Structure 1
């Protein structure tokens, strides 16, 4: 007899969802025990790491990944990571366990009140009416995740897996194609706008396509800015036309974009900010146009002209339709200033990393107080040369680095994290050690939430109530989870460690945590 479980396994093979990231609970035992040999089970010790590792896997493979969560507790623990996946626009299929369907009405132990628990962050939540509807719900979740670029949840009662599936129909297409072509007539208003621009500029976002955006930028000869708080680099940051990261407040944003009569945002919102400041986003006389494949981004952006279309397809056609401009100039920001030694600061660590890391390194950032230095000192040279959590919550970098290295075993993978950030996702180091995942975790340890200290200082309203946590030993925590660790306390120790470690990154088959003691950096401005 063919069961629902059998039918689902066939679907997982068809959609190449054969790696299951999971922290198991009793409501998932009937799914997980006796897995076929061609399905790979990957254990994480916390549900945040389950979804974080799946997120990294999906980014690396450029395809949906599969996570399995345990009813209310599991889904609740993973909500922050689910929110990050949605804001980063990463496709995930998430199966959530539920109590036995036959007595749910009595609310037995471990009954999940799951509807709405993850809020609006999933692109779809499905609780199939019948057990036989589960395979179709999972197939639809795959398509919804890939189309809407986010996590799609399917809640499955524990008895559904053994239900018969003879003669049933999977209510979803086997293949779903998403043509991305754009008509030249539709692009005419944007072609006219850019053709008449005296001083255009481009803002590149996480969904920009490098292969099409670089030729367009070179044709226009204009500066290209990176969106603020983006989840990945939208343009090669060693390109002579790269002009730096947009400021995150309106005053500095207006100043940066002043003098540009047309600003084209590609795969980026218009415009991400953090501290509120009054006034318009851009100065009078500056026209903003937007190209995005995210409907919500298009609908909320205050642009004069917005296209809901594939950024890659639009940029490729614009390059064919626009006349070339003369005088392509250099727009790179000035070199970053490095503080004098001693003490050892984050900027020193980032500079030495930048001097040694190969161009194809996958770099994941989660060090809020050092992010401006990282942007200035470590330009992204490939589309995965900078990755971050666009949602802003902590706990992304460590598990994402594990998933990325699993998906890309031949590329160096480095996570640069603060010690406060690392503590949110440290469980993933066990998975890295157990599954022999050769990622490098560079922890900038200052024993405090430095960015919070600075924000409190900027308010000037008294001392912040939170204490430092400099008793925490990141290396000891890593070793307790089976991950080797090296302590670095001086500049000479840093350079010696990096000289030894960096050449091994592409071939490493075990993780390593570099616990670097750094002084607090002054003068941070988000």
Structure 2
């Protein structure tokens, strides 16, 4: 007779039912019973830090548009990953996260490695947390976590004591979750009519696109809507993904992050429709209203939190992909004015011989040489505005960054995108300071043969922090002296090589151009990562 199925067996069956193929982990002792002799149909991916575990799973989930599975080790592992979980939530990445716990049978004695109140440690990052009351409830909790992660687009946590896996499964118990969940995506005619009236009664409307509209259907719908309205389209400030083709003639650029400049950008428009973006993402805080008096604002988003906190005249809670195309069909075409409504991009040429490299020269080369379907993963805060200005996202998922703003996302997310089966060139543009938050992820890229190009802009310090300190000094007349030192001694290419990842360093424009000419044409098919450290001015 075959042995009776265990909770572990049933849990793996649940993961298979929903199509899980890969688990990302940095294992600890409380996960040994789960992971030892892992079934051959589940691939185990090792990361050297829990932040990279969640970052890689986030990239994988975004590449596949379905949940990824991550495993964390009780308090220490979950604590290390909380920032990455918060980023995953704001990036709308569906994750099923298993968190190990000490043996249930002596938890009351708080033995070594007890995860004390793990649910509180994780909050508020997860969209859902479960601590199954019995071992037999673990498979059902996993099934529900899959739906919660998918529906609410964020990490769903299941906390499992280490002895639960060997317990007999509740084979006669119904699984407390649907085998399949289908979400209706059709927009109601009455809602479309109200949005059509909102836009139709405006004399000078404008569109704002955000990360929530970053899919092919939303891009098609928004492009058609912009064409009908003959209006400019802005990208939300600090958008983690591009909601509109940024090489389109009606693309106006990225909205300013402060209210004063935002009012100027939207001046003259009497109706603003924000699609897939909150109204409005800002930093730093400035007084006043978002728009000038008399401007009406509406938002279309499938994120209830975005809808609930947006100070608008009309909020529509629906998938942008279900709204934009049908709405465009209802809108009568407007006659385009004589003024250009999009932006003009002038790429910098090569610097003078012997002149130091600045980030704009790096981005100018990327803009000229990147394939149209390339994915740029950004984590270079001091040069992000330049990247936005010079390197457009030309296809859905053409741009990705950490929506939460914390560092350590870029390198593992880029790796996770390619591990998720994305057959597109992936280039991570990372500051040298940012790279140090998740440098361990390069080992995983090298070990698993993940062909990403990581361009590290090395200026030997925290350039964005230096800028902020200087601005603070200007405002307060205090001098703006930063107390932190630079770190010119750090060699990111050297660190990469020590982790088994191939790396090169470019100090001149010619060296940079040579490497890009060599690598970019074959990047989509590349099976080996490369770190390209570029010495740039701050």
TM bucket normalised to smaller: over 0.9
Q: 1:206 aligns with which of 207, 211, 216?
A: 211
Q: Which runs of 5+ in 2 are unaligned?
A: none
Answering whether residue 245 of structure 2 is matched by residue 232 of structure 1, we say no
Q: 1:292 aligns with which of 276, 282, 301?
A: 301
Say how many residue pairs are matched.
520
Q: TM-score, normalised on structure 1? A: 0.97
Name the CA distance, whole Å, in 2 between partners of 1:145 and 1:390: 17
The runs of at least 4 consecutive aligned structure 1 residues that moved more than 4 Å come to: none
Moved more, 168-177 or 67-76: 168-177
Moved more, 327-336 or 393-402: 327-336
Q: Partner residue of 1:334?
A: 344
Q: 1:190 aligns with which of 189, 195, 201?
A: 195
Q: Partner residue of 2:388?
A: 375
Deviations 1:111-149 (A, max 9, x none): 002121122110001000000000110110000001111
Moved more, 385-394 or 401-410: 401-410
Q: 2:11 aligns with which of 8, 31, 47?
A: 8
Q: Partner residue of 2:400?
A: 387
- 8 Å CA contact 2:26–2:72 kept in 1: the answer is yes
SS at match of 2:185: coil
Name the CA distance, whole Å, in 2 between partners of 1:75 and 1:16: 25
Name the CA distance, whole Å, in 2 between partners of 1:265 and 1:364: 24
- 8 Å CA contact 2:250–2:343 kept in 1: the answer is no
Name the CA distance, whole Å, in 2 between partners of 1:101 and 1:13: 26
Q: Partner residue of 1:60?
A: 63
Answering whether residue 515 of structure 2 is matched by residue 497 of structure 1, we say yes
* 1:188 CA displacement: 2.4
Q: Partner residue of 1:142?
A: 146
* 1:311 CA displacement: 1.1
Name the CA distance, whole Å, in 2 between partners of 1:95 and 1:335: 46
Q: Partner residue of 1:33?
A: 36
SS at match of 1:116: helix
- 8 Å CA contact 1:143–1:176 kept in 2: the answer is yes
* 1:291 CA displacement: 0.4
Q: TM-score, normalised on structure 2? A: 0.95
Q: Partner residue of 1:511?
A: 529
Q: 2:311 aligns with which of 302, 315, 330?
A: 302
Name the CA distance, whole Å, in 1 between partners of 2:156 and 2:277: 23
- 8 Å CA contact 2:8–2:165 kept in 1: the answer is yes
Name the CA distance, whole Å, in 2 between partners of 1:361 and 1:223: 25
* 1:193 CA displacement: 1.4
Answering whether residue 280 of structure 2 is matched by residue 277 of structure 1, we say no
SS at match of 2:114: coil
* 1:409 CA displacement: 4.7
* 1:199 CA displacement: 0.8
- 8 Å CA contact 1:19–1:41 kept in 2: the answer is yes
Name the CA distance, whole Å, in 2 between partners of 1:86 and 1:152: 10
Moved more, 251-260 or 345-354: 345-354
Q: 2:73 aligns with which of 70, 85, 102?
A: 70
Q: Partner residue of 1:524?
A: none
Name the CA distance, whole Å, in 1 between partners of 2:373 and 2:155: 27
- 8 Å CA contact 1:184–1:317 kept in 2: the answer is no
SS at match of 2:240: coil
Q: 2:449 aligns with which of 436, 440, 462?
A: 436
Q: Which runs of 5+ in 1 are unaligned?
A: 521-526
SS at match of 1:232: coil
- 8 Å CA contact 2:259–2:288 kept in 1: the answer is yes
Q: Partner residue of 2:90?
A: 87
Q: Partner residue of 1:254?
A: 263
Answering whether residue 133 of structure 2 is matched by residue 123 of structure 1, we say no
Q: 2:377 aligns with which of 364, 377, 399?
A: 364
Name the CA distance, whole Å, in 1 between partners of 2:421 and 2:165: 32
